[in-house]
């Protein structure tokens, strides 16, 4: 018996080893899965392909119950839908007579059951373990068609790199996906970068909600720096964002060199920005003209932060770096207009020469060979005070050089515009900074606003008039901060009226109405009493008189129009007395 058992064991071991080899060979022959645009099937197949043990179930997103329907109305609907033809009547006559006898004892029970079915169900009982298991909730236009998926909601379970790899393959095939809602999903800096790399591949996504996802290094700017990102609405509530994260987000929103031109709504409520973080966000609004709605509720902002926002909304002086970059842009634009254009047959990229580097053949003998850099001709920055430099900047902007000498000087500056030290650079390396300047000038930036003026030896530009809604509620603002904001709104009103009047006088056609500035401002639950603040009442009247294209403001609306919130510019603003943070 023992030798026979040994033989059986050997034969079984051989079969098992051969089966393992066959399984490995079959795994090698499996082709990668191609997504079909049906998220439920694609997600399960990709999880199996990635050998994930637990596949997260996909369930429809629950909704509150609708209004109950009376039993009498259900009977009326059935009567209307019943056939009225002779065939339908004949079918009814042919029904057996035993059915009414069977239904007679249950008539009382059926009435109670129909009454219970008509009542709305506000809850559903589930096991504790089943309730807390991770799920993916989806929203579909048509529940029977998987390709109509519009929203994906994930709540309270960690998303790792393996799940994001599956999302990277399945999300681009969802043509109707518009909203991604990841709440408390444990994102890290690496997974956030991976998620940001997925977004440009999904052009239909418009809203990204990442509430309750604090990240150690706060690199949220990765969601804003990619120009191909389709995100229009971004929410980062309860993410513990501090001054460091605010500065990085401000860089993503816009600087004097580049601006985000996609994002329209940004929600940073319930964070820890403070006055310094508010200053960073306000600085980004100098040159960002796309953002329409900004929510900074409950961010520990005081009067200092309110003053920074008031400066950006009214008028602001340029810093030294911004002034230098403005001079470079103006210089490049004047050179590009005066420089001759090459024939269509000449390739500029091969020679490394652009239209701004070509010398002109003027009377001053500025002509030369194309493609040879002039090493001797360099410019040195003048050593003067800051005030004198700013004066010289305005003179250079308003009075460009004329004649052959002026052309020659501009050509010399053009040769050293990309190289501030004046060193000789090969012609092929000059086209990079100039192409960047071409891109910026063609798109247009507020840094080149023609309404700039010189005040107290500072070059001042008009502020942001594209921001429509600003939420500063639940902060530490007092009457002083409200005064700052009032002056900014009054300046916007005056600037708009002057601009419209000058355009009406100069143009014979229908004048274009400029941006009107703030249309909604929320200041409730701050450290001031609304009923005793005159500046608050003046702000309310100013915003009430403005036209409101997005947020419809009507005097006869109920409190439900603002969702129960007290909003400046609406007649339902309530006072907050004796409440301090």
Average pLDDT over residues 69-80: 53
Q: For residue 348, what are its two tokens?
A: 């500029």
Three-point CA angle 469, 472, 474, nearest 5°: 140
The residues, ordered by sequence, that sit 6+ positions from 116 with a Cβ below 8 Å of its Cβ are: none
Among 208, 146, 197, which residue's Cα sits nearest to residue 173? 146
The answer to whether the CB of 440 falls within 8 A of the CB of 491 is: no
Task: Find which of 92-101, 217-226, 541-550 is predicted with most confidence, using mean pLDDT.
Answer: 217-226
Asked whether the predicted pLDDT for residue 100 surpasses 50, the reply is: no
Q: Residue range 112-129: average pLDDT?
A: 64
Alpha helices (H) along 353-478: 386-398, 403-415, 431-443
Q: Is there a contact between 179 and 149 (Cβ–Cβ < 8 Å)?
A: no
| Mean pLDDT of the 421-427 span | 41
403 to 72, 331, 361: CA distances (angstroms): 92, 16, 12
User: Is residue 393 predicted with pLDDT exceeding 60?
Assistant: no
pLDDT score at 128 = 76
The better pLDDT of the pair 474, 448 is held by 474
Task: Report the range of poorest mean pLDDT among 3-7, 47-51, 310-314, 489-493.
Answer: 3-7
> In the structure encoding, which two tokens stand for residue 527, read together?
């450290």
Backbone angles phi, psi at 358, to 5 degrees: -75, 130
Query: What values do phi and psi take at 155, rounded to 5?
Result: -130, 125
Give the mean pLDDT of 214-228: 94
Query: Rounded distance, CA 577 to CA 581, Å?
Result: 12
**Torsion (CA) 94, 100, 101, 106 in degrees, nearest 10:** 150
Q: Which of the pair, 97 or 534, is modelled with greater confidence?
A: 534
Residues 432-449 pLDDT 10s:
444 444 444 444 578 888
Helix (H) or strand (E) holding 309: helix 303-314
> How far is 524 from 104, CA to CA, in rounded Å?
63
Instruction: Please choose, from the candidates 250, 258, 253, 259, the residue with its C-alpha nearest in 3D space to the C-alpha of residue 280.
Output: 250
The whole-number pLDDT of residue 338 equals 64
As a whole number of Å, the end-to-end CA separation of the chain is 87
Q: How confident is the model at residue 63 (pLDDT cuts 50, 70, 90)?
A: confident
Which phi and psi angles does 188 have, rounded to 5°? -115, 180
Cα–Cα distance for residue pair 504/509, rounded to 1 Å: 8
Distance CA 211, CA 267 (A): 10
More reliable by pLDDT, 432 or 51: 51
Beta strands in 216-310 (DSSP E): 233-235, 265-267, 293-295
566 vs 225, residue with greater confidence: 225
Banded model confidence at residue 62, pLDDT cuts 50, 70, 90: confident
The average pLDDT across 331-349 equals 58
Average pLDDT, the chain: 73
What value, to the nearest 5°, has the Cα angle with vertex 355 and ends 349 and 361?
Answer: 130
Lowest mean pLDDT among 197-211, 223-237, 393-407, 433-447: 393-407
CB 377 within 8 A of CB 455: no
pLDDT band of 2, cuts 50, 70, 90 = very low
Rg from Cα positions in the chain? 34
Q: Is the pLDDT of residue 219 over 80?
A: yes
pLDDT of residue 403 exceeding 90: no
Residues 6+ apart with CB under 8 A from 573: 524, 530, 540, 566, 567
- Please state the separation of Cα 449 from the chain's center in Å: 25
- Please give the average per-residue pLDDT across 541-546, as a whole number: 86
- Token pair for 343: 């024939």
* DSSP one-letter code for 260: -
Ranges of H-type helices in 135-179? 161-170
H-run or E-run covering 155: strand 149-155
Q: What percent of the chain has pLDDT over 70?
A: 57
Residue of 52 and 97 predicted with greater confidence? 52
Distances (CA, A) of 393 to 10, 329, 453, 466: 92, 12, 12, 27
Q: Looking at per-residue confidence, does 335 or 252 come out higher? A: 252
Topology adopted by domain 133-324+464-504+514-551: 3.80.10
User: Residue 118's pLDDT is what?
Assistant: 59
- Find the mean pLDDT for residues 538-552: 73
**pLDDT tier at 153 (50, 70, 90 boundaries)?**
very high
State pLDDT tens for residues 272-308: 999 999 999 999 999 999 999 999 999 999 999 999 9
Higher pLDDT, 190 or 549: 190
Name the residue with higher pLDDT: 368 or 177.
177
Structure-block tokens of residue 197: 């790399």
């Amino acid at each position: 018996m023992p030798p026979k058992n040994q033989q059986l064991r050997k034969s079984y071991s051989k079969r098992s080893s051969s089966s393992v080899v066959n399984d490995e060979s079959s795994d090698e022959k499996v082709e990668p899965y191609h997504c079909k645009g049906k998220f439920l099937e694609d997600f399960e197949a990709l999880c199996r392909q990635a050998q994930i043990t637990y596949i997260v179930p996909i369930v429809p997103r629950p909704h509150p119950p609708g209004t109950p329907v009376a039993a009498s109305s259900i009977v009326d609907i059935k009567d209307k839908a019943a056939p009225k033809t002779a065939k339908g009547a004949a079918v009814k006559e042919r029904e057996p007579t035993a059915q009414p006898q069977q239904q007679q004892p249950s008539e009382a029970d059926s009435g109670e059951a129909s009454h219970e079915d008509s009542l709305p169900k506000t809850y559903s009982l589930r096991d504790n373990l089943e309730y807390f298991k991770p799920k993916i909730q989806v929203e579909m236009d048509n529940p029977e068609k998987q390709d109509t998926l519009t929203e994906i909601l994930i709540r309270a379970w960690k998303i790792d790199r393996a799940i994001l790899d599956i999302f990277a393959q399945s999300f681009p095939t969802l043509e109707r996906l518009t909203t991604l809602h990841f709440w408390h999903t444990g994102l890290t800096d690496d997974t956030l970068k991976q998620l940001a790399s997925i977004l440009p591949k999904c052009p239909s996504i418009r809203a990204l909600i990442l509430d309750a996802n604090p990240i150690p290094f706060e690199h949220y700017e990765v969601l804003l720096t990619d120009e191909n990102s389709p995100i229009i609405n971004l929410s980062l509530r309860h993410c513990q964002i501090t001054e460091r994260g605010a500065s990085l987000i401000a860089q993503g929103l816009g600087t004097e060199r580049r601006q985000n031109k996609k994002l329209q709504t940004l929600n940073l409520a319930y964070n820890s920005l403070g006055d310094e973080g508010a200053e960073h966000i306000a600085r980004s609004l100098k040159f960002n003209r796309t953002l329409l709605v900004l929510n900074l509720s409950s961010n520990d902002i005081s009067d200092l932060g309110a003053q920074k926002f008031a400066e950006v909304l009214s008028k602001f002086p340029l810093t030294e770096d911004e002034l230098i970059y403005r001079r470079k842009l103006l210089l490049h634009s004047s050179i590009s207009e005066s420089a001759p254009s090459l024939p269509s047959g000449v390739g500029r990229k091969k020679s490394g020469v652009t239209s701004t580097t070509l010398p002109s053949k003027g009377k001053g003998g500025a002509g030369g060979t194309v493609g040879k850099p002039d090493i001797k001709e360099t410019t040195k920055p003048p050593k003067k005070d800051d005030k004198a430099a700013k004066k010289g900047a305005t003179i250079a902007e308003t009075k460009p050089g004329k004649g052959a000498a002026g052309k020659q000087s501009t050509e010399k500056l053009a040769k050293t515009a990309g190289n501030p030290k004046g060193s000789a650079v090969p012609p092929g390396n000059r086209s990079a900074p100039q192409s960047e300047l071409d891109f910026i000038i063609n798109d247009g930036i507020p840094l080149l606003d023609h309404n700039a003026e010189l005040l107290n030896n500072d070059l001042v530009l008009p502020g942001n008039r594209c921001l429509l809604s600003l939420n500063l509620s639940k902060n530490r603002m007092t009457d002083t901060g409200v005064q700052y904001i009032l002056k900014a709104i009054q300046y916007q009103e005056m600037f708009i009226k002057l601009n419209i009047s000058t355009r009406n006088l100069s143009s014979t056609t229908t004048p274009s109405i400029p941006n009107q500035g703030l249309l909604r401002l929320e200041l409730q639950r701050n450290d001031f009493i609304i009923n005793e603040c005159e500046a608050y009442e003046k702000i309310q009247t100013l915003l009430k008189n403005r036209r409101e294209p997005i947020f419809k403001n009507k005097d006869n609306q109920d409190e439900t129009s603002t969702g129960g919130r007290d909003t400046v510019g609406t007649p339902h603003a309530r006072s907050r007395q004796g409440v301090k943070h």
